[in-house]
Each structure stands twice: as C-alpha cells, then as structure tokens.
Amino acid sequence: MLTTRAARILPGCLGILAVTLSACAPVTTPAAPAPSETATASSASPSVSPSVTATTNPSATLTPSATVTPTSSTSPSTTFTGDPAVLIPGRNHIGAASDYVYPAELVQQWLEGEVKPTEKIVFLTFDDGPNHSTTPVILDALEKAGVHATFFVVGSMLDEAPELLKQEIDQGNAVSLHSWSHDYKKLYPGRHGDEDRIADEYTKTLAKVREILGPDFNTESWRYPGGHMSWKGLSPADEYLKSQGVSWIDWNADTRDSAPKKERPTTIDALVHNATAPIRDGYHVAVILGHDTPDKALTSKSVPAMIEAYAAAGYKFGVIS
C-alpha cells in the first residue's frame, strides 16, 4: 500500500495528459450497490444529465455561448497518421479509434450539463471484465455492427483472459480502469473513499494492463466501482487521479443488469428499455452502464438491440479516452 502522495504520484506521471476533473453532480446517496458473482458490481442509480443539443471535436476550447451553456464540438479531437492497427503510445486505443475517441473529462462535463455537445452521441461501456463467458459475445456483436465500446477492466480479472484484453484493443475499442479488487469494503470503508487504497489499486491495475498490452498503454479515464455518485469523501482520491492525468467517469443510462436480483431485467426488451432512457428523455449524450461478468448473459445478448435503437435514433458511437 502506498502511504504518501509523493510515493503514489511518481509511477503514473509519465505520458499522461493532465485534465481537469469535473465535480460530481449532486445526487442522493443510494444504498450500497449489490454485489455480482465475481465482483461487487456497480448498481447505484445513475446521475441524470440535462438535455443537450449538438457540433464535432471533443477537445476543442470550450467557450461559453451568449445564452446558457457552453457548447463543444463532437468530432474526434485527434488526427493520427501512423499505423491504424497499433496502440497509440500514451493512449488507450489503436490509431483507427482516433476517429471516434473523446476525452473522459469532456464526456463527464456533458453528463453534468456543464457543456453541451453539438450532436447526439452514445458511449457503450462495460465494467468488471474481461471473462470468457460474456466478453466474446459482446465483442462479436460490436464487430458485426461496426461500432465500438469502452471496457472498464478489473485488474484481478486480467490474468484469466489476457487475450480478450488484447482483442478489445485490436478491434478498435478503448480500455480503461475500474480498480483491482472491486471490493467496496476495501475501497470505501464506512462508505468513504480510502485515498491510499484507491491510488494503490489504480497503480496496480495500470501496471497489469501494461504488462499485457505493453508499456505504451495509458488511459485518461477511471470508473469508481459503484460510481462516483455512490460514495462520500472521494475528493482526495479525485485529486490523486487528477495528478495522474485521469478523470473519473459515471453514466446516465443504467441497464440495471447489476441491480438487486429482483429488480434486474429478465428480457432483452426490458434491458434495452433501461439502456435507451436517454433517447426518450431527449438527451443528446448517453453513457450506458453494462457489465461483462459471467452472470451477464442477458446483457451480452442485448448489445445488438441497444446498437440498433441508438442508431435508429440518430446517435453516433464513441469511446472514452
């Protein structure tokens, strides 16, 4: 366990772009999320972002408009001229993904309504993997549809399926971090974030991903198990992540696949109904929370229908840096 800020900050500093963390939207603290079979899965109710309207370029300078909320372009921010099939040094995706990757900090700002995008965009995200039961099904559905997702991986799962982590990257998806243990009691004792523990798990998970994908891997995004919205006292951990050039990211559409079992959807239609709430609510940004743990077969089978629904509603698909 790292015990001082200096000891924590040094290992992750190289090659990470500094970004400014967004403040968590005010939300009533939910009950402790229900555990999944392999990890205590994220089940807290998502925060809801204000309605947004849509341009194109995630990292453009965010200049306030004359009316209410600043707008930002929704075109990918990077132009890559190297090998499109190779991991970009210092990034969490291959060159081809430069056409549809967006900074985590900006996506979180969109969710919180701090900035308005200029067109409709959806981010499919899957937490807690990879594993051999559901991750391959999701990857197959994404490849057939020609769209991509962001996988928030748990470090302790990676030795079981390193080839799937590589496949996620090779297919043009993004890989981000979701802790090492996914253990709420260790990460949030008394429902308060343990800065040292979170920093240690960030560092350990990043090292494991680099062991598999190579030292050039880096990511600007982290998802707190259970979501930032679910816990208290996370400001010190947020500041640590910020020092590493990392932004936390939540969601605004929950498939409810990790809700208490009595509340989980039992059909594809029900799960897709949950996942497509932003369409009905008129939001132009959707970050969908799903999981690829072994008990999430329904989620993996629902991916084609989720993609179809958002495509029909005019959303473009992106991944998070």
The answer as to whether 13 is a domain residue is no
Nearest Cα neighbor of 250 from 104, 121, 142, 128 is 104
pLDDT of residue 116: 85
CB 76 within 8 A of CB 88: no
* Cβ(244)–Cβ(9) below 8 Å: yes
- Is 33 domain-assigned? no
Q: Residue 284: which domain range?
A: 65-320
Q: What is the pLDDT of residues 268-310, one digit of tens each?
A: 999 999 999 999 999 999 999 999 999 999 999 999 999 999 9
Q: Looking at the chain, which runs of residues are DSSP E strands?
A: 71-72, 101-102, 116-117, 121-127, 150-153, 174-177, 221-222, 247-248, 253-254, 285-291, 316-320
The answer on pLDDT for 15 being more than 90 is: no
Q: Are 108 and 22 in contact (CB under 8 A)?
A: yes
How confident is the model over 75-97, as pLDDT tens digits? 565 556 679 999 999 999 999 99
- Is residue 115 one of the residues assigned to a domain? yes
Let me know if residue 99 belongs to a domain: yes
Number of domains forming the structure of the chain? 1
Token pair 């210092």 in the structure block, residue:
90
Quote the CA–CA distance of 208 and 154 in Å, as a whole number. Answer: 10
Residue 21 pLDDT > 60, yes or no?
no
Q: Give the separation between CA 315 and CA 321, rounded to whole angstroms.
A: 19
CA dihedral 297, 171, 76, 217 (to 10 degrees): 100
Domain membership flag for residue 56: no
* Among 288, 292, 295, CA closest to 310: 288
* b/e per residue 5-26 (b: at least 16 CB within 10 A): eeebeeebeeebeebebbebbe
Write the pLDDT tens digit of every residue in 123-145. 999 999 999 999 999 999 999 99
3-state SS of 60-115? CCCCCCCCCCCEEECCCCCCCCCCCCCECCCECCEHHHHHCEECHHHHHHHHHCCC
Average pLDDT over residues 19-28: 35
pLDDT, tens digit, 9 for 90 and up, residues 32-51 = 444 333 333 333 333 333 33
Q: What amino acid is encoded at 153 in this protein?
A: V
Q: What CATH number is attached to the domain comprising 291?
A: 3.20.20.370
